[in-house]
């Protein structure tokens, strides 16, 4: 499928000139390339930013926060106040109040050769605000929910600028693109032409030129910032080669700028042992971190949820790298208490990040701090959970602890989860109360035990433990508890 060379050149030249305009208009930080977020040298399961080993915790009310400027600054400040340092951002346009990436003409049709300055200014502003607050952004670039059947107010192919019915640049006949796509994204490749533009696929030069122009503009802004993690898709089931192409494209642009970035792709497949997930595991140079958010959907429940994370860690142990979870669903996936428990298990499995999913389908900023069955977002309960987990992780030397449930005695399945640096520091998470025993070294130093309930975000008074062959650790009550045990 060929586009006239002049048209492709015009698209490229416009993208370059627009990127230059945005770069000049946008406030750019003066950032040495050595300060970009990176894999931690002491423990490659975690991130390091500004010289500090990080576990990333988050929760927010939308997944495309850049496109929701109303209340954005205050929302980020609330996140910061409760210990959240991690936000998801899809480049989506599906909600009321969102803007599209391209300008419209007087007939209401998009012109793909003219980007919408407001869209990119919102994006730039979002990156600047998060940078100022040291909130790490996981950027998801191609979002399938904008490409298939209608989804929320403006999501779906019927609204998309690239739909030939919606733009002045090409027709169905000239582009090979349909006007109607009435099926949802699924966990396997479909016939959707957006994801088949590569030369070895449909060789759709028309659409690929617009995809590249969009990506060039996006990266011309984001590569100035050191706090960005790149994810090619949101939960895709399309051909892995399409993700490979864009992962390489991002890395090439970063190399040209002289900065180091980290890239992954997010597969829709919940099975962490699947062929497409293994495709990511097997390419550490291309995919330098892993996101298994879909383990927080139906497949990951209770002990199995935790075991799946440990499986992935073992699977990539020859090239260890951070394992992120950018989405943790709400009550719709096994109940709200399980959603909270997943947050705890992710951290206690040694994952690099955990974040509550948005309260879909709410779009009105008036409900910015609500929860729904789809996610706890940044609701009051989510804030307490995030704060409690942050209080615990701040007390641990994360680079030195690791999951070690085998040190627990009389542990039932899914009862308790242990992070430990033996003889120095221990933390035990109980999803619903319980009692286990732990062998503590006998020496002149006694051990101090402190409890925190995840729904309270306050430490209980410290308790002195005397070392025995095995010391019983029993929660004060039912509920989500963490015990922190350290030498006096």
Question: Distance between CA 75 and CA 69 in Å, rounded?
Answer: 10
- Confidence check: pLDDT of 246 > 50: yes
Q: How far is CA 297 from the centre of its chain?
A: 14
Residues 284 and 350 placed together within one structural domain of the fold:
yes
Residues 386 and 429 placed together within one structural domain of the fold:
no
Question: Distance between CA 194 and CA 148 in Å, rounded?
Answer: 10
> Is 466 buried (19+), middle (13-18) or exposed (0-12) by CB count in 10 A?
exposed
pLDDT in tens, 58-93: 999 999 999 999 999 999 999 999 999 999 999 999
Residues 15 and 72 placed together within one structural domain of the fold:
yes
Q: How far is CA 107 from CA 118, 164, 178, 320, in A?
A: 19, 14, 21, 53
Question: What is the domain range of residue 473?
Answer: 402-487
Q: Last residue of a domain, which of 340, 368, 399?
A: 399
What is the DSSP-derived secondary structure letter of residue 331? T
More confident residue, 249 or 30: 249
Residues 395 and 445 placed together within one structural domain of the fold:
no
**Average pLDDT score over residue span 136-165:** 96
Per-residue pLDDT band for 29 (boundaries 50, 70, 90) equals confident
- Supply the CATH number for residue 462's domain: 2.60.40
What is the DSSP-derived secondary structure letter of residue 155? B
Residues 380 and 408 placed together within one structural domain of the fold:
no
Residues 318 and 238 placed together within one structural domain of the fold:
yes
- Supply the CATH number for residue 340's domain: 3.20.20.80
Residues 395 and 406 placed together within one structural domain of the fold:
no
- Give residue 4's pLDDT: 46
Encoding tokens for residue 62? 């939308």
Q: Last residue of a domain, which of 350, 380, 399?
A: 399
pLDDT in tens, 375-390: 999 999 999 999 999 9
Burial 115-143 (b: 16+ CB within 10 A, else e): bbeebbbbbbbbbbbbbebebbbbbbbbb
- Give residue 24's pLDDT: 46
Q: How far is CA 434 from CA 193, 419, 431, 449, in A?
A: 52, 17, 8, 16
On average, the pLDDT of the chain sits at 94
CB 439 within 8 A of CB 461: no
Q: Last residue of a domain, which of 380, 399, 418?
A: 399
Q: Residue 72: CB partners within 8 Å, gap ≥ 6?
A: 65, 125, 126, 129
Q: How many residues does the chain have?
A: 488
Nearest to 43, CA basis, from 401, 327, 292, 295: 401
Residues 224 and 124 placed together within one structural domain of the fold:
yes
Cβ neighbours around 338 below 10 Å, total? 20
- The total number of structural domains in the chain stands at 2
Residues 303 and 174 placed together within one structural domain of the fold:
yes
pLDDT in tens, 437-451: 998 877 667 899 999
Residues 456 and 376 placed together within one structural domain of the fold:
no
The sheet with strand 38-39 has its strands ordered as: 38-39, 47-49, 52-54
pLDDT in tens, 288-324: 999 999 999 988 899 999 999 999 999 999 999 999 9
- Confidence check: pLDDT of 21 > 80: no
pLDDT in tens, 315-325: 999 999 999 99
Reported pTM: 0.95
Residues 372 and 419 placed together within one structural domain of the fold:
no
Q: Residue 161: CB partners within 8 Å, gap ≥ 6?
A: 100, 101, 102, 110, 112, 167
Residues 327 and 439 placed together within one structural domain of the fold:
no
Torsion angle of the four alpha carbons 59, 63, 65, 70, in this order, in degrees rounded to the nearest 10? -90
Q: Residue 99: CB partners within 8 Å, gap ≥ 6?
A: 67, 93, 116, 118, 119, 122
């Amino acid at each position: 499928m060929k586009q006239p060379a002049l048209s492709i050149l015009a698209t490229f030249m416009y993208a370059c000139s627009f990127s230059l305009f945005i770069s000049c208009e946008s406030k750019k930080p003066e950032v040495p390339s050595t300060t970009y977020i990176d894999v931690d040298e002491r423990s490659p399961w975690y991130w390091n930013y500004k010289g500090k080993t990080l576990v990333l915790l988050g929760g927010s009310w939308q997944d495309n926060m850049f496109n929701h400027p109303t209340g954005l600054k205050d929302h980020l400040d609330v996140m910061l106040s409760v210990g959240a340092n991690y936000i998801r951002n899809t480049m989506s346009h599906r909600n009321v109040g969102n803007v599209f990436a391209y300008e419209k003409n007087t007939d209401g049709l998009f012109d793909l050769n003219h980007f919408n300055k407001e869209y990119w200014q919102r994006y730039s502003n979002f990156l600047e605000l998060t940078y100022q607050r040291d909130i790490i952004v996981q950027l998801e670039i191609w979002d399938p929910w904008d490409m298939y059947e209608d989804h929320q107010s403006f999501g779906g192919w019927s609204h998309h600028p690239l739909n030939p019915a919606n733009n002045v640049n090409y027709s169905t006949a000239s582009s090979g693109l349909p006007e109607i796509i009435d099926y949802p994204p699924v966990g396997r490749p479909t016939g959707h032409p957006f994801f088949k533009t590569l030369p070895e696929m449909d060789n759709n030069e028309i659409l690929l030129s617009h995809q590249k122009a969009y990506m060039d503009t996006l990266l011309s802004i984001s590569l100035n910032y050191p706090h960005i993690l790149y994810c090619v898709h949101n939960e895709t089931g399309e051909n892995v080669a399409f993700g490979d192409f864009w992962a390489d494209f991002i890395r090439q642009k970063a190399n040209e700028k002289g900065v180091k970035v980290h890239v992954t792709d997010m597969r829709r497949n919940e099975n962490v042992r699947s062929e497409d997930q293994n495709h990511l595991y097997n390419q550490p140079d291309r995919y330098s971190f892993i996101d298994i958010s879909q383990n927080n959907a139906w497949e990951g429940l209770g002990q199995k949820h935790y075991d799946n994370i440990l499986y992935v860690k073992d699977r990539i142990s020859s090239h260890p790298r951070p394992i992120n979870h950018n989405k943790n669903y709400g009550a719709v996936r096994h109940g709200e208490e399980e959603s909270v428990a997943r947050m705890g298990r992710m951290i206690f499995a040694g994952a690099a990040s955990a974040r509550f999913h948005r309260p879909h389908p709410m779009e009105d900023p008036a409900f910015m701090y609500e929860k729904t069955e789809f996610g706890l977002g940044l609701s009051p309960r989510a804030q307490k959970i995030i704060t409690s987990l942050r209080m615990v992780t701040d007390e641990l030397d994360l680079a030195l602890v690791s999951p070690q449930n085998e040190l627990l005695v009389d542990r039932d399945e899914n009862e308790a989860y242990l992070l430990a640096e033996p003889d120095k520091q221990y933390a035990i998470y109980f999803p619903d109360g319980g009692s286990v025993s732990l062998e503590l070294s006998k020496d002149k130093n006694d051990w101090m035990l402190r409890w925190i309930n995840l729904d309270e975000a306050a430490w209980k008074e410290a308790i002195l433990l005397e070392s025995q062959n095995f010391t019983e650790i029993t929660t004060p009550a039912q509920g989500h508890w963490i015990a922190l045990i350290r030498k006096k």
